[in-house]
Amino acid sequence: MMNNLEIIRTSHLILSELTINDANFIFKLYNDRDFIRYIGDKGIASVQDAESFILQGPINSYNINNYGLCLISLLDKKPIGICGLLKRDKLDSPDIGFAILPNFRKQGYALEASRAILNDARERLQLTKILAITSSENIASIELLLKLGMVYKKMITIKEFDSKPVQLYSIQFN
């Protein structure tokens, strides 16, 4: 099987580009209860849907933007989540997204991955501003964004989040 292209390695994690070989994992993650509750139902009802999503979402974004959602794996290559930058039409800067499988939460992995993604955004991609959006009920996500040094800006509505108002956060690099 083809290896995923590694983007970043941290003390406990490997962040790499998603490939269609990750469809089983994406199918599982995107149907997790908290994922659907807080991020939304992306309509990934089969492994085949997950393959199409990976192609049209992350892989398309790597080609267009030079960044996109990455697979998070432990150093032994076990996939545990996703983290990376997204570019939405409605927002003027990329926003950071993350999700971890339930069994691997609360161990600092999302924080470690997100810090690495923000660092990469500043150093390699030379971006100056990163946004984040989260539902107001998503305490774990809000706490994580604050820990990353992101600042609450305002409520916005975007169609990807079912058009329900969501909180917008921002971080600016100097």
Ligand X SMILES: CC(C)(COP(=O)(O)OP(=O)(O)OC[C@H]1O[C@@H](n2cnc3c(N)ncnc32)[C@H](O)[C@@H]1OP(=O)(O)O)[C@@H](O)C(=O)NCCC(=O)NCCS
- Interaction site with ligand X (CB under 6 A): 34-35, 38-39, 98-100, 105-111, 134, 138-141, 143-144, 147
Residues 6 or more apart in contact with residue 160 via CB below 8 angstroms:
40, 88
Residue bearing tokens 């926003």 = 95
Rounded to whole angstroms, the Cα distance separating 134 from 97 reads: 9
Rounded to whole angstroms, the Cα distance separating 155 from 96 reads: 17
Rounded to whole angstroms, the Cα distance separating 32 from 9 reads: 26
Smaller CB distance to ligand X: residue 3 or 102?
Answer: 102
Rounded to whole angstroms, the Cα distance separating 102 from 36 reads: 13
Quote the least distance from Cβ 11 to ligand X, whole Å.
13
Quote the least distance from Cβ 111 to ligand X, whole Å.
3
Quote the least distance from Cβ 113 to ligand X, whole Å.
8
Smaller CB distance to ligand X: residue 2 or 34?
Answer: 34
For 93, list phi and psi in degrees, rounded to 5: -130, 160
Smaller CB distance to ligand X: residue 33 or 174?
Answer: 33
Quote the least distance from Cβ 86 to ligand X, whole Å.
11
Smaller CB distance to ligand X: residue 25 or 98?
Answer: 98
Smaller CB distance to ligand X: residue 62 or 109?
Answer: 109
Structural tokens at position 5: 């292209």
Quote the least distance from Cβ 138 to ligand X, whole Å.
5
Identify the bridge partners of residue 82 per DSSP, sorted by sequence position.
71, 99
